[in-house]
Structure 1
C-alpha cells in the first residue's frame, strides 16, 4: 500500500542509486528519516533531491503488517506501486517490479542468486529484524548483475539510544474457515542499546506454521507452500564509535525456513478447473524438507565521515552462503537410472568488497556531491540435485566495477544527476553434461556433453536525471538509466542443446529505462505519478519442447511500458486514507507478441484506511483489487506456461491494535470476506501442481511487550 510517508515515485534507476547501506550514525543523528533516503546514492540524501523512483516502507508500517501477515512479499505487493501481486507462496516467481526481476539485499548484501535465479530472494529475513525497506525502481547495474528491474534493500534495525530496550511478542495464526491443523505459534524478540561508544541489536524469531487453508477449508498445495513451515531467524549487529567520525560495525544474519510436512498433494488440473490441494498421509515421502537451509550473511563495515576535509569513506566487506532447497518433482525423473523424480537446490557463496567515497563542494550557487568507488564480487553458484546428479554446473564469477555518480543542487531548486559505471565480469564453467530428464518412459531429453570455458562481459552504463523542487504543489522529474543483466545464466546452461559453451546464447541483456513524472503536496493531500518505458535487446522467456517435455529458455527482445499513480490524504488527526494504482504491459519488440505472465501482471489497485477513534486504538483496513488479463490463445484447452488467463479478484484485510502502557494487544484477519480465488501466479503458470487456490479467511492474534 502507498502508506509509506517517504515514498517518492521519482525517477531513474541506475543512478548510483546503488542502494548501499547509508551510514548508520548519520541516520541515527538525523532523526526523522521521512526527510531522507538512504539507498538512493550510497549516502543519505533528502527525499526532494532524489531523481530516482524510490519508495520506503518505514518501521511503523512493517510492525503494523506483522499484525496481519508475516510475508514480506505481501507487504511489497500492497504498499509498493509497480510490484506484481503476492504469490501466496515461498516463491516470488512472476512477482516482478515493473515487469522485470529485482535484486534483493539485506543492508546492501545481495540475497538473490542471479546466476541461477530461483526467485526466492524476497524471503531471506524476518520482518521483525528490519527497520525499513527501500525500493529503487528501474534498471540499475550499480550493484552489478541481477537488478534489471531495480533493488529491494532490507535495512535492519538500529540500536536504541537507551542502555537496554527491547520487545517480545507471542502470536498465533489459524484458519477461520477450518481451524483443524492450522494453528501456528510464533515468538519474536529484540534487545538493543547503547553503552558509551558501543551499540548493539539482537533479534531472534521462531515461527512454526500450521496448515494454510483456502476458502473451502482445504489445505493449499505444497509446491512452494507455506504449510507446516518452521522458520528460525537470528540477527545480531554490534558497532563501536571510535569518535564523532569513525565507526566500525559487524552484522550477522542467519535464516532457516523449511517445510517438513506429512502432507501430500492431490494434483488438480487447470484445464478442468480442479484445484491442487494437500491431504495427510502415513506413507513415506520422497525427498528432504524444502526451503532456505541455514542461509547466512556476515558483513563488516567501516566508515569515516572525515577521511579528508570534504570527503567521507565507507568500506564494506561481506560474505554470504545460501542453500535453497526446492520441492521434489517427477519432472526430474530418469527411469533408466532408477530415478522417479528429483529435488534440486541452489548453492551460492559470495564474497564482496565495496569502497565508497563521497566528496562535497559548495560553489557559490551550487552544491556538488560526487559519489565514487569500486566494487568487487566473487560469486560461485550451482544447482545440483539432492541425489547427487548435477543439473546446473558450477559457475565461478568475478565482477569488478568502478563508478562515479554526481549530483548538483542549485540555489534555484534545480537538481541534476549524472553517473557512469564501468564493469568487467569473468565467468568460468568447467566441462559438464546436461541431465537426461523424462516426463515419461518414452519422452526424454537428450543429454549433451558440453565443453566449458570462459565467458567475458564488459559494460559501461550511464544515467542522467533532472528534478525541479521549488514548488511543493508540483515537483516534476525526468530521467534515463541503463542496466546490464546476465541473470539466470544457469537456466541457459542446463538446457543446452549444443556441445560447446561458446555456442550457448549467453549474451548479456542491456536494459534502458526512461521515466517522467511528478510529486505534489497540497496541504493534507499528497500525489505521485510516473510514466515509464524500458527496453532490452535480449530477455529470457520460456517455451515447452513438445518432443522432450522440457521447458527451454528463449531469448527475446522486450519492451515494457506502464504508469503508477498514488494518493494519500490526511482527513483528520485520527483518519488517513490512500490508494495506489499500477498498470504495465509488454511485448516482444520484434514480433509484437505480448509478454507472458512471467513478466507482466494485470493492473492492480490498492486502497487503505488508518483510523484511531480513541487514544491507543488503531484500526486499519485495506483492499487489493487485481484486474483480469487474457492475452493468449490455448492449444486445445491448454495454455503454454505463464500464458494462462487470469480472472481478477478482490481481497479485503482488517487489523486492529490497542496499547496499554507497555503492552499491545493486536489481531488481524486476512481475506476478511473469504474470497474464493486462484492467485495470479497459479492461473498464469497453468501447470497442474501449481494450480492451488489462494488463502482463505485467516486470523492472526498476539500480544507484544515493550521495555
Structure 2
C-alpha cells in the first residue's frame, strides 16, 4: 500500500469535493444550503447528517437522474457515488458487488430486499429506477435495521407527492450503440395527487433491453445461467397511498416488479489465449430464461405526538423469486433420470418474508437534550432452492424466525452529540428432513433446529468543531448468518443432521471508524478511516470442480475514503471521491491473516472525478471519469483445490450527460464510455479469468436520449 500514498495525496489535492450537481436553477439554489440540513431516515429516526457518528451518504434525486441518464443500472449508480462500493457487473447477477468488502443490507422504504439465508446475488433489480427519490447509505457494519448489514445499509427511498393538486407525467429513455439489435428503451407513466384528504403516487413502466457491444465492436457476452440485463424486458407497477389526520399518518405501499430474459442469444466462449472475451450468438438457450419476480408491500403508521414522542409502526411482506438459466453442470446429474452429462436443470430460489418494525422516539427524556429510541423488530423468512425442470429439492425450506428489541440513547451536549445503543437478537432456524442431490450421494439428512441469542452494540460521538467543521468517532456492530443453504445442499456424508451441520453462530462484524467533515455553502469534504473485523467470518471459495464452499475464517477490512464537492461559482461544481480498500483473511481458523480478499468479496481501489456546469439557466452539462486501480493478489496461493491468485488491469471510463428544460418538457442526451474504451470488467478479470464463458467485456460507447414531461 505504500506505493499508493502519492496517488492518495494527488487525488486528495485534486478533489476538494462530493458528488452532485444541481439540474435546474431552483435545484441549484437548494444545493447552496448547508449539507447539515440533509436528513437521513435509515437510522430509524430522522437525523441531520452532522449528528450521525459515521460515514453517511445521501444520493439525491438529481444525482440519480443524472446517472440513470447515462446508464439505467442501479449498481452502477452506487459505484459512482459511494466510494467503497465495488464496480457494477452490468448483469442481472450482482456477484462481487460489495460495500467495503462486505455485503450490505438492501432496503426499499425499510422493506428488506436482501436474502441472506440463500444469497443468490440477484437482489440488485427489484424496482424501477424512476420511482426512487433518493438513496441513503450507512457505510460500515450496522444492526439498526436487522440482519445482513455487515457492510452497511442501502435504503432506497421512493418518491412522495410534494405539491398540492393532481398531475401526471411521462418519461421515455432510449439508448443505442447504433447497431440493429441493441436498442434499449423504457417508458413510464405516473399519476400524482396531494390534498387535505390524501396523497397518492402511481407509476407504471415497461422496458426492453437489447444486446450491447464492447469498445472493439464485438457483441457482449450474455450470461444465460446467472442472469443478464442484455436481451431482456422488465415492467413495474407501483402505488403509494397515504392519509394524514392531525399528528397521525397511515400509508400503504405496493410494488410489483418483473424482469426476464428474452432468450434470443446464447453465450459464446472467448479465446483466453488470444485475449478475446466472451461474446454472444443468435440462438435459443435451453430451458426458460432467467427472471426476477419481486413483490413488496407495507403498511406504515405514524403518530408524531404520542406521550411526548413519535411512534412508527411498519408491517411488511416481501416475495422474491429468481430463476436461473438451464445448465448441465455435474451437480445436477442423476443417472436415474437421464444419462450422465445429458441432464439439464434450472436453479430456482423462492424467498418469502413477513415482518414488523416498531420504533418509538422521545426527545428530552428525563433531562433536556437526552433522546430515547426504543423498539422491537420481528422477521419471519422462509427460503428454499429447488431445481425447476425436475422439481427436485436442492436446498430444503429454511424457516427462520427472529425478534429483536433495541434501545438507543442520544445526548446533545452543546457542540457534541453522544450516541450509544444495544440490540438483542433472538433467532431460530428450523429445517425439515430432506435428501441431497444424487451428485452428493443422495444422502438423507435429519431435520432439526438451531438457535442463537446475541446482543450487538454501537457507540459514537460527533463534535461540531466550528460552523463548518465536525469530527466523529464510532464503534458499531453488525451481524449476519453464513449462507445456510449453501452448506445444507452440499452434504455428502451419511448420518448427518441439521442440528449438527448448521452453527447459527452469527457473523458479527465490528466496525471502528474515525472521520472529519467540512460542510459549507461552497462545498463539502469528508475523510474517514475504518477498520472492520469479523473473528468468525464467512468466505466463499470455488474449488477445482467449480463448487462454492463456505469457509468460517476471520476477515479484516481496512480502508480510507475521501469524497467532496467544490462550488467555485454559481452553476459550476467539481466533485470527486477516492476509496482504498484492503481486505485480509486466513486459510483456516488460527492461520495468519495473510490472504487478500478476492473479487467475490471486495472491489479494487477506485477514484471518481467530475464537473457540472449550468451553462444556461435551463441547461446543464456533466462530465465524470471513474478509474479502477490495478490489483494483483495471492500470487501462487491455494487453499485445498481453490486457486486464490487474481490479476486485474485497471481502466478509466469517461461519461457525459446534458439536459435542457424546454416548454415541451425536459430533454436529455448522454454518452456512456465517451472514448469507447475496450475493457474487461473487474470481476471477470479477477475471479473468472480462466473461464472462457465468463470473461465479460464492458459496454463500449453508448448514446442515450431521454424525455420527460409533467402535465
Common topology (TM > 0.5): yes
Within a 5 Å distance, the mapping from 1:490-505 to structure 2 comes to: 490-498=485-493, 499-504=496-501
2:637 and 2:643 in contact (8 A); partners too: no
Among 550, 553, 556, the alignment partner of 1:553 is 550
Q: Structure 1's 269 and 463: CA in aligned 2 closer, same or farther, altered over 3 A?
A: farther
Stretch moving more, 347-356 or 185-194: 185-194
Q: Does the residue aligned with 1:630 lie in a helix, a strand or coil?
A: strand
8 Å Cα contact 2:424-2:454 kept in structure 1: yes
Structure 1 pair 386–462 and aligned structure 2 pair: CA distance change class (3 A): same
- Secondary structure at 1:219 match in 2: coil
In structure 2, relative to structure 1, the CA distance for the partners of 1:271 and 1:225 (3 Å cut) is farther
Q: Which residue of 1 aligns with 2:27?
A: none
| Structure 1 SS opposite 2:552 | strand
Structure 1 counterpart of 2:517, from 514, 519, 524? 519
SS in 1 for 2:80: helix
1:601 aligns with 2:603: yes
Distance verdict in 2 for CA 1:643–1:34, change over 3 Å = farther
Q: Deviations over 1:383-402 (max 9, x none)?
A: 11112121111100101000
Match of 1:258 in 2: 260
| Equivalent residue for 1:3, pick from 14, 19, 26 | 19
After TM superposition, list the pairs within 5 Å mapping 1:58-73 onto structure 2: 58-73=60-75
The one of 544, 551, 569 equivalent to 1:572 is 569
Corresponding residue to 1:474 among 469, 478, 481: 469
Instruction: Please give the secondary structure, in 2, of the residue aligned with 1:539.
Output: coil
Partners of 1:287 and 1:343 within 8 A in 2: yes
Structure 1 residues 41 and 185, CA gap change in structure 2 (3 angstroms) = closer
Q: Kindly state the Cα deviation for residue 363 of structure 1 after the two structures are TM-superposed.
A: 7.0
Deviation at 1:61, TM superposition (A): 1.3
What corresponds to 2:77 in structure 1? 75
Q: What is the match of residue 660 of structure 1?
A: 662
**Unaligned residue ranges in structure 2 (runs of 5+):** 1-16, 23-32
Quote how far apart the aligned CAs of 1:304 are.
0.5
Q: Which residue of 1 aligns with 2:133?
A: 131
Q: CA deviation at 1:561?
A: 0.4
- What does residue 304 of structure 1 align with? 303
Give the stretch that moved more between structures: 139-148 or 79-88. 139-148
| Matching of residue 704 in structure 1 with residue 702 in structure 2 | no
C-alpha separation in 2, matches of 1:314 and 1:328: 45
1:674 correspondence with 2:672: no
What is the distance in 1 between the residues matched to 2:196 and 2:364?
Answer: 33
Q: Distance in 1 between matches of 2:38 and 2:279?
A: 46
Partner Cα separation in structure 2 for residue 635 and residue 376 of structure 1: 43
Displacement, 1:352? 0.5
Structure 1 contact 117–487 (Cα < 8 Å) conserved: no
Q: CA RMSD in A?
A: 2.2
Q: Residues 287-686 of structure 1 correspond to what in structure 2 (within 5 A)?
A: 287-293=287-293, 295-308=294-307, 310-331=308-329, 332-334=331-333, 336=335, 337-338=337-338, 340-361=343-364, 366-387=368-389, 388-410=391-413, 412-437=414-439, 445-498=440-493, 499-504=496-501, 506=503, 507-521=505-519, 524-546=522-544, 549-588=546-585, 590-591=591-592, 592-633=594-635, 643-686=645-688
Relative to structure 1, the CA distance from residue 652 to residue 199 in structure 2 (aligned partners, 3 Å threshold; closer, same or farther) is: same
Deviation at 1:250, TM superposition (A): 0.1
C-alpha displacement of 1:215 = 1.6
Deviation of the 1:46 alpha carbon:
1.7
Mapped to 2, the partners of 1:522 and 1:160 lie a distance apart of: 27
CA distance in 2, matches of 1:608, 1:204: 33
Secondary structure at the aligned position of 1:677 is classed as coil
Q: Is the 8 A contact 2:172 2:707 kept in 1?
A: yes
Q: What CA deviation, in whole Å up to 9, does each residue of 1:370-426 have, x standing for no partner?
A: 11101111000011111212111110010100001111112x210000000001011
Q: Structure 2 vs 1, CA of residues 545 and 656 (structure 1 numbering), >3 Å: closer, same or farther?
A: closer
Contact 1:40 1:50 in 2 (8 A): no
* Alpha-carbon distance, 1:37 to partner: 2.5
SS at match of 2:633: coil
**Residue 40 of structure 1: CA displacement?**
4.3
Deviation track 1:649-704 (CA, whole Å, cap 9, x = no partner) reads 11100111111135111111111111111100111222333211111111111211
Q: Structure 1 length normalisation: TM-score?
A: 0.90
Match of 1:204 in 2: 204
Secondary structure of the 2:94 match is coil
Distance 1:269 1:102, change over 3 A: farther
User: Is the 1:632–1:645 Cα contact (8 Å) retained in structure 2?
Assistant: no
Q: Displacement of 1:4 after TM fit? A: 4.7
Given that 1:269 and 1:691 are in contact with CA atoms closer than 8 Å, whether structure 2 keeps it comes out as: no
Partners of 1:33 and 1:466 lie apart in 2 by 19
Choose the corresponding residue for 2:695, options 669, 685, 691. Answer: 691
TM-score if structure 2 supplies the norm length? 0.90
The 2-side partners of 1:270 and 1:126 are apart by: 36
* Structure 1 residues 55 and 452: alpha-carbon distance in aligned structure 2, compared to 1, 3 A threshold: same
CA displacement at 1:543 relative to structure 2: 3.0
Cα distance in structure 1, aligned partners of 2:36 and 2:189: 26
C-alpha distance 200-503 of structure 1, shift in aligned 2 (>3 A): same
CA–CA distance in structure 1, aligned partners of residues 681 and 670 of structure 2: 21
State the distance in 2 between where 1:71 and 1:258 align. Answer: 15
* Structure 1 runs not aligned, ≥5 long: 7-30, 438-444
Q: Secondary structure at the match of 2:466?
A: coil
Q: 1:542 to 1:230 in 2, by over 3 A?
A: same
Asked if 1:229 is matched to 2:232, the reply is: yes
The answer to whether the 8 A contact 1:429-1:452 is kept is yes
Give per-residue Cα distances to partners, 1:425-483, cap 9 Å, x unaligned: 1110111222234xxxxxxx444322120010111011000110141443111000112
Q: CA separation in 1, counterparts of 2:187 and 2:57?
A: 29
**Alpha-carbon offset, residue 5 of structure 1:** 8.4
**Is the 1:657–1:665 Cα contact (8 Å) retained in structure 2?**
yes
Contact 1:353 1:377 in 2 (8 A): yes
Q: Residues 278-337 of structure 1: CA distance to partner in whole angstroms, max 9, x if unpaired? A: 1102xx5311121212x11010011101111x1211111011111111222332431513
Tell me what 2:192 maps to: 192
Whether the 8 Å contact between 1:4 and 1:55 is mirrored in structure 2 is no
